[in-house]
Structure 1
Amino acid sequence: MPLNAFIVRPFGAKEVQIASAKLATELKAKLDKIGLGDLVKTVEQLGGSGLWSAQVNFDAVQQRLLDPALEKLRIRGEPASAVVVAGNIREDMFNKLLTADVVIADLSIHNPNVYYELGVRQAFRDKYTFLIRCNLSEYPFDLKTDRYFEYSLDELAEHPKAVVDRLVTALRGTISSTEADSPIFKLLPQLEAEDRARFIAVPEEFREEVERAQRYRQREHLSLLAMECEGFLWEAEGLRVVGRAQFESNFIDGAKATWEQIVGRYPDDVEANTVLSTIYQRVGDITRSEQALARVARTRTLAPARLSELRSLNGRNLKEVWVKQWRNAGDGACGTSDMDADTSALAARQRAALASPLLQRAFDAYHEAFKADLNNAYAGLNALTLLVIQVELAQRQPDVWTSLQRRPAEAATALVRRQRRIRSLIAALELAVEADRERLQQLGSIDPWFTLLEAAVECIISDQPQHVAQLYEEAKHFAPDNAEESMRRALEVYLELDIRGREQDQHSEIGTIARNVAQATQVLSRRRGTLQKNQQRPRILMFVGLRLDSSMPGSDSGSTVRRPGFPADCVDAVRDAIRQAIDNELACGGQIVFGLAAGANGGDLLFHEVCQAQHIPTRLCLALPWRQYVGQYVAPAGPEWVERFLSVYRTVRQQAQRPDVPGDPVPISTFTDTNEMPRWLNGRPYYNVGRRNSLWMLQHALTAAYELGDDTEITLLALWNKEASEGGIGGIQHVIRAAQLQGVKVHSIVVPSAPALARTLSLPTSAQAATPAVADRSPVKAA
């Protein structure tokens, strides 16, 4: 995700007063001798005053210096002149100054507009403002203490690469620094810089599409929307919207990729690092989780809610390591019988869990988080859980508990103090649950995370196991996928340490934990259906490719526009090539779980037919509802292709009723119900619903591979020819590259451009199979 820069500079050719006569005469001599290109137009003395001036073309300075440097750094640059052209100068200018990742200000002349815009930037953003000037003029007094990059016009004319390389080095140092460069923020170190996200509006249509994808649990659609953010001013904020939806839906793989993109661009982003810390913890990468928390901790000031969250995440990491420490502590236990061995192993786990200093440290972190923000009920729940475990283990292993105290006589007092804290935490959590329940009832909405919280609290305090089981049943019903596994892991801690609750202490304020956990685990053992796992190495085939050649009405009366594809007399040869490609994939071993393609005339339907002939189940990914899809993407080739589509469609539908066919029980997916592009994508050239569908299919394949397991392989078969090569986002070349970046093997099937060569079609060699390098810029698009 590249950074963006806003360039504040004088427009066109401006007069620059030269600071010294010596510099002026040297510059004039070079201008007369070798010329300075279009950088300097004239150098002349102002009357008899002894002052000299030069006409400097600042547009040429940007073309020769700034543009090449930004290109090397992969930074998108936009000059202030673009805002003037756009129309609404004041609002657009303020927005750019506040939201640009980097602002470059050229202070070569005393230009009031440049000074004003620089002041706005330095007043609102603490860093990433870069000052430059040419070596002709005197630097303003108020800016003499600031660092700046100085360029020489004659050197820029004679040795541009050297000047550009120096600028690249300086800019790289600026964007890599975490220190404030604004004199205002240096003078007032407690001043908070404005969050750029507050000034960037994500299109409402985009937000709504994310909400729909989240509501319908469309993991692949969220991943597609993350891809489509690229290139927009609001790219980072759009990714933030998608990342939140993925994380809340427990789509951990997609959320990890999305939030890592944001951190890659903004390493100190508090929200991104906070979420990533949780994600890394869930996937077992504690080191990276702690590193993410450390980046958050570098923030100078944190709001109470954010500070609470940070402490809670620290407690979570400590708890995770604590569990790993004691979980295998009893492996070496042995006895005269299996029962004795089990008892000995349990005692070893209990003693190791109680003796570990991480138990107290994890409790302290959660407890401090809850005190910092009483709305953070999850921190309070975890604090209560750890304290209940500590107290019961202290009662059952009194010798270990006594040995942990500074003085043996303090053991009983310390235990009483913790029992009192349990009572206060229970009261606080009961109040929090009651308040949240009333709030949700007033809103008439259901919060899956609240149902999970309520179930976990009742598991600790209730003496009605069936009531607790009912709450977990409700939580399982509303919770996102994979959240059930988290609930099960939390209950397993009680089981492995044999935490009994009121059965252990009849005078305790806590409930019958052992019986509650037994009932809840029975509920959670009934897992939802998932993709069938394969004993063989699972493999997925995905197909994208050309349709048949066709002509469409043009914009001029009576004219037609040819949509490039492959000629009708190549159909048999294309089918043979697809069959050969699939045979080669079958020969690679493993089990091809299914093939995935759209249903357009030409390559798509041929792929489905070949797969079905070889008893490989397929999935249909249609851009539109099937009747509209037929009219748009199938019928132009004639009634024969409509019949072929309907045959494929019926066969794919029948797979849902076959228990022997692995994979998704709904093998036909529809991307959207309209052929109109959303307004936020209207400005993207060559992009249409068909191309969106191609990228959506790629996300389908990646999602299925994730669900089938890490060893699942994906092969993309891509049918193209040089004549009909598609450029732009969503074109065949773009899908190929996007797939390669995800580790997908790509097998290109090249269609000969001349019909006469159709019968000689064969699979390409590895050199021929390379992605075509030349993009077709025609506005006519194939599906």
Structure 2
Amino acid sequence: MRAFIIRGFGTKKDSEDHRFDLDAVERDLIQPALAACELTGGTTAEIDEPGSIHADMFALIVEAHVVVCDITVHNANVFYELGVRHALRKKHTVLIKARGSADATPFDIGGDRYLAYDPADPGASVADLVKRINGGLHSARETDSPIFQVLTHLDEADRSQVAVVPADFAAEVARAESAQSRGWLRLLSQEVRGLRFGAEGLGVIGAAQSRINDLEGAMQTWEAVRERKPQDLDANLELATLYERWHGRTADRVFLERSNEAIRTVLAVDALDAKHRSEALALQARNLKTLWRTELEPMATVAERRAAALNRYLLQAYEVYRSAFRASLNKFYAGITTLQMGALLQDLSGQARWRNLFRTTIEAARFQEDLVRELAVLHPIVRLACEAVEDRGEADPEGVWARITLADLDFLESPPEPSAGDIASLCAGYAEALRGAPTFARDSARRQLQLFADLDFRSPAAKAILETLGAQAGGGPGSSAPQAGTAQRTHLVVFSGHTVDLPGTAPPRFPAAAEAAVRALLEKRLRELAADGNGLTVLASAAPGADILAIEACRALGVPSVLCLPMPAPVVAREVFGPYASWLNRFQDVVEAAQDRRLVLHDQARLPDWLQAAGTDPWARGNRWMVELAQAWGADRLTLLAFWDGNESDLSHGGTAEMVRLARASGRFRIDVIDARSVPGP
């Protein structure tokens, strides 16, 4: 959890010229107390990004779980910031004040309790401040704000509406999503943790990862959000979906139960609003539908599937979907799925097993009558909800789902025995609705149509639409990129090696005269790795020396390689190759040969503004990016091939030793070292 400190800076005097070292108070009292309470944070001094300090300051004040405010001396900025906190957050604001200050506490906060400390020895009050902070965090007291004490009807600010996510951070996430780069988004997910907008930034990344179908990465990101805020509604709802989808990929029932646990967490929230209740119920129904579909999988024939389909899971899923839609009629997803499950119930109700779902024959008949009536009422309501979304324009994130739902409605409302013209119209409708849609949306529509076909529900139309969608299939923007997300399974090798020594380098690590010997060693090892028949692919950067030699060796052996540059090639050439003029032409040849198998992380040499305060080195960032790219690739095997001198004490940024440490820490790579110390002399 994060804290924010409101205080004056430096040494300040009260009205009688008593001096108070407020920097020392933070150093000796406030920060030790925050650390003991497992809180992080500081003052406005932590705002390093360009822009409006006022916007950032307000965000920090409102986002903070705890605010510690020093009111020792009269300071207009301090009282202004305290007023912002009291006006927007109900509690967890702790006041402190030095003993002996001649400045009286202002009347408006005169009734508030504050912790008095000794200005000569503020550290002596650490234990008292820890007690005060923890007491506030675990107190059942409704508010410590004089504003909320008087105006009891006010609602405090929604932190999600005031949190400041830097524009350049959001833009980088959007670029990574557009490139369909799982590794880039995973890198951002790691980098944003610990930053002041970390939780909000993780939410932006997690949503992007879900949209490009990186289930594993999205789960890790949203789990990081939930670690900070276990009851976070968005995190639990997203994880409920991701766990169910991962269950569908792995058939591991543990993940379906994790999904149900996340849903129960949401539904247990007191005074849960209609929007989130509807979403949680819809996910609960979806899990029931998943269990229902699982029971159909072993069935070989249509007759067997239709017989097995008529069970309690189908009935329960329909009823919970109906409850979800009733909770919020704007949630057209719950509405269309209610209609789909209800249509299947109606279609299957002629079977003799229908009666077994109910206690009595009368109850079965009554349900059947109610079903017909409810489905007739639901159709126009769901259509209106979708059309309302369409009226909001293309920018609405729910627009693609509204278009798909309208196509689904047309399918359900089509004649049971459609004409050729009806089928052609339905095919065209789905093709248009899914044009440019995310992979997950396309897959979802296909799965539902396949289910209808498997159960012989309007199967001629369903099969025709599936054929049309199959012909239209495409991965969307960036699908041809060589990084993660492709269907290819491979042995992926990340290469890292020392740069060639400059004249006078001591001790020598890669003497220029040893180039031919190093090239021969690299070719030998790559040939051995390629011999296992797993479709070897190599990721490498292009520093002068072993990196360029490795890419040249790949080209000679016909091994596919992907060039990974932390910044554009002209910038790399300018920043790196000044002392290595003899390697510059080779670098440019490597870049030109890479063509569409070239990945670039950032568009300039300096780090993005949002990352400037983190103390990150751009070359070290490039190493982390390559490791994340590799892990997100989907390969059968991962290897780090390193031309390295084995120097474990080398703590420099961006080098081979760092890459070895990163690969080890991931636990996913086999480390294959070509010992630079064993290279024979020229």
TM (norm. structure 1) is 0.68
Q: How many residues are paired up?
A: 651
Counterpart pick for 1:519 among 460, 464, 468:
464
Structure 2 residue 293 is matched with structure 1 residue 323: yes
Counterpart position of 2:599: 669
Distance, in Å, in 1 between the alignment partners of 2:65 and 2:680 is 54
Query: 1: CA distance between counterparts of 2:680 and 2:406?
Result: 68
- Cα root mean square deviation, aligned: 4.9
Q: By how many angstroms is 1:135 displaced? A: 9.6
Residues in 2 aligned to 1:295 and 1:149: alpha-carbon distance in whole angstroms: 37
Partner of 1:713: 638
Partner SS, residue 395 of structure 1:
coil
1:240 corresponds to which residue?
203
- 1:744 CA drift (Å): 3.2
Q: Secondary structure at the match of 1:193?
A: coil
For residues 393 and 254 of structure 1, the distance between their equivalents in structure 2, rounded to whole angstroms, comes to 40
Distance 1:82 1:372, change over 3 A: closer
Corresponding position of 2:66: 102
1:259-296 deviations in whole A, cap 9, x for unaligned? 22222222232222222222122112232223323333
Counterparts of 1:745 and 1:145, CA distance in 2: 61
Residues 69 and 94, structure 2, Cα contact 8 Å, conserved in 1: yes
Cα separation, 2, equivalents of 1:360 and 1:180: 43
1:401 to 339, 347, 354: 354
Aligned to 2:496: 544
How far apart are 1:383 and its partner, in Å? 0.9
The question of whether the paired residues in 2 share the 8 Å contact of 1:541 and 1:717 is answered with no
Deviation at 1:389, TM superposition (A): 1.4
Alignment partners' CA distance in 2, 1:687 and 1:394: 65
Q: What per-residue deviation string (whole Å, max 9, x for no partner) do you get for residues 426-473 of structure 1?
A: 2223334455556558x8999543443233222222232233233344
Residue 42 of structure 2 aligns to a residue whose secondary structure is strand
**Aligned match of 2:448 in 473, 483, 490?**
490
Structure 1 pair 242/378, CA: closer, same or farther in 2 (3 Å)?
Answer: same
SS in 2 for 1:192: coil
- Which residue is equivalent to 1:745? 669
Distance 2:202 2:155 in 1: 24
1:447-526 alignment, distance < 5 Å: 447-462=399-414, 463=418, 464-496=422-454, 498-500=455-457, 513-525=458-470
Residue type of the alignment partner of 1:429: V
1:377 maps to 2:329? no
Residues 127, 743 of structure 1: CA spacing in aligned structure 2 closer, same or farther, 3 A cutoff? farther
- Which residue among 244, 251, 257 is the counterpart of 1:281? 244
What is the CA–CA distance in structure 1 between the aligned matches of 2:585 and 2:574, rounded to whole Å?
Answer: 9
Compared with structure 1, are the counterparts of its residues 239 and 344 closer, same or farther at alpha carbon in structure 2 (3 Å cutoff)?
closer
Write the mapping of 1:611-630 to structure 2, written as runs, cut at 5 A.
Answer: 611-612=554-555, 616-623=559-566, 630=573
Q: Does structure 1 conserve the Cα–Cα contact (< 8 Å) formed by 2:567 and 2:604?
A: yes
Deviations 1:395-418 (A, max 9, x none): 233xx4344445423433432221
Residue 703 (1) aligns with residue 632 (2): yes
Matched AA of 1:395: G
The Cα of 1:385 is off from its aligned counterpart by: 0.8
Question: Cα–Cα, structure 1 residues 716 and 422, in superposed 2: closer, same or farther, change >3 Å?
Answer: farther
* Match of residue 296, structure 1, among 245, 260, 266: 266
Q: 1:297, CA displacement in angstroms?
A: 3.5
For 1:604, the equivalent position in structure 2 comes to 547
Q: In structure 2, do the counterparts of structure 1 residues 749 and 135 end up closer, same or farther at CA, with 3 Å as the change threshold?
A: farther
Q: How far apart, CA to CA, are the structure 2 residues paired with 1:403 and 1:383?
A: 21
Relative to structure 1, the CA distance from residue 674 to residue 741 in structure 2 (aligned partners, 3 Å threshold; closer, same or farther) is same
SS at match of 2:494: strand
Q: Distance in 2 between matches of 1:701 and 1:253?
A: 14
Q: Contact 2:13 / 2:20 at 8 angstroms: preserved in 1?
A: yes
Structure 2: how far apart are the matches of 1:275 and 1:112?
43
**Structure 1 pair 122/274, CA: closer, same or farther in 2 (3 Å)?**
farther
Per the alignment, do residues 218 and 745 of structure 1 end up closer, same or farther by CA in structure 2, a change over 3 Å counting? closer
Residue in 2 that maps onto 1:50: none
Q: Equivalent residue for 1:503?
A: none
Aligned with residue 429 of structure 1, among 373, 382, 387 = 382
Deviates more, 1:423-432 or 1:56-65: 56-65
1:540-591 Cα shifts (integer Å, max 9, x gaps): 111234433569xxxxxxxxxx9x995534545654675687688679x783
> Partner amino acid for 2:598?
I
Partner of 1:568: 512
Gaps of 5+ in 1: 17-45, 47-53, 332-340, 501-512, 552-561, 654-665, 762-783
- Post-superposition Cα deviations, 1:299-330, rounded to whole Å, max 9, x if no partner, equal 44455434432332232233223333x426x7
> Out of 369, 387, 400, which is 2:342 matched to?
387
SS at 2:538 equivalent: strand
SS in 2 for 1:202: coil
The answer as to 2:228 corresponding to 1:265 is yes
- Structure 2 residues not aligned, in runs of 5+: 248-254, 476-484
Once the 2 structures are TM-superposed, how far is the Cα of residue 739 of structure 1 from its aligned partner?
4.3
Q: Report the Cα distance in structure 1 between the residues aligned to 2:571 and 2:10, rounded to whole angstroms.
A: 53
Q: Select 1:208's aligned residue among 165, 171, 175.
A: 171
- Aligned twin of 1:658: none
Q: 1:597 to 1:343 in 2, by over 3 A?
A: closer
In the alignment, structure 1 residue 7 sits paired with structure 2 residue 13: no
Q: In structure 2, do the counterparts of structure 1 residues 208 and 152 end up closer, same or farther at CA, with 3 Å as the change threshold? A: closer
Q: Which amino acid aligns with 1:210?
A: V
**Matched residues in 1 for 2:666 and 2:578: separation?**
34
Contact between 2:240 and 2:258, CA under 8 Å: does it hold in 1?
yes
1:594 to 537, 544, 554: 537
Q: Deviations over 1:503-535 (max 9, x none)?
A: xxxxxxxxxx2222222333455565884655x
The superposition leaves residues 63-121 of structure 1 with CA deviations (integer Å, 9 ceiling, x where unpaired) of: 3343345456664331478799x999976654432122332345789999767755543
CA distance in 2, matches of 1:109, 1:649: 64
Comparing 679-688 and 382-391, the one that deviates more: 679-688
Larger-Rg structure: 1
- 1:307 and 1:372 in contact (8 A); partners too: yes
Give the counterpart letter for 2:63 in structure 1: T
Matched residues in 1 for 2:66 and 2:202: separation?
20
* Matched AA of 1:696: W
Distance, in Å, in 2 between the alignment partners of 1:758 and 1:493 is 61
Answer yes or no: is 1:420 the counterpart of 2:373: yes
SS in 2 for 1:591: coil
8 A contact 1:623–1:670 mirrored in 2? yes
Separation (CA, whole Å) in 2 of partners of 1:73 and 1:718: 45
**Structure 1 residues 584 and 104, CA gap change in structure 2 (3 angstroms):** farther
- The CA deviation at 1:378 is 1.1
Question: Does the C-alpha gap of structure 1 residues 164 and 736 become closer, same or farther in structure 2, counting only changes over 3 Å?
Answer: farther
Pairing 1:77–2:25 present: no
Question: 8 Å contact 1:635–1:642 — kept in the other structure?
Answer: no
SS in 2 for 1:669: strand
The aligned counterpart of 1:646 is 589
Go from structure 1 to structure 2 and tell me whether the alpha carbon gap of 1:495 and 1:302 turns closer, same or farther (over 3 Å shift).
Answer: same
What is the rounded CA distance, in whole Å, between the counterparts of 2:32 and 2:6 in structure 1?
A: 17
Tell whether the 8 Å contact from 2:450 to 2:463 is kept in structure 1 after alignment: no
Partner of 2:364: 411
Cα drift, residue 595 of structure 1: 0.9
Q: State whether residues 640 and 663 of structure 2, in contact with CA within 8 Å, keep that contact through their aligned partners in structure 1.
A: no
Instruction: Quote the Cα distance in structure 2 between the aligned partners of 1:731 and 1:759.
Output: 19
User: Cα deviation per residue 1:593-619 (whole Å; 9 max; x = unaligned)?
Assistant: 211012232121122234455553221
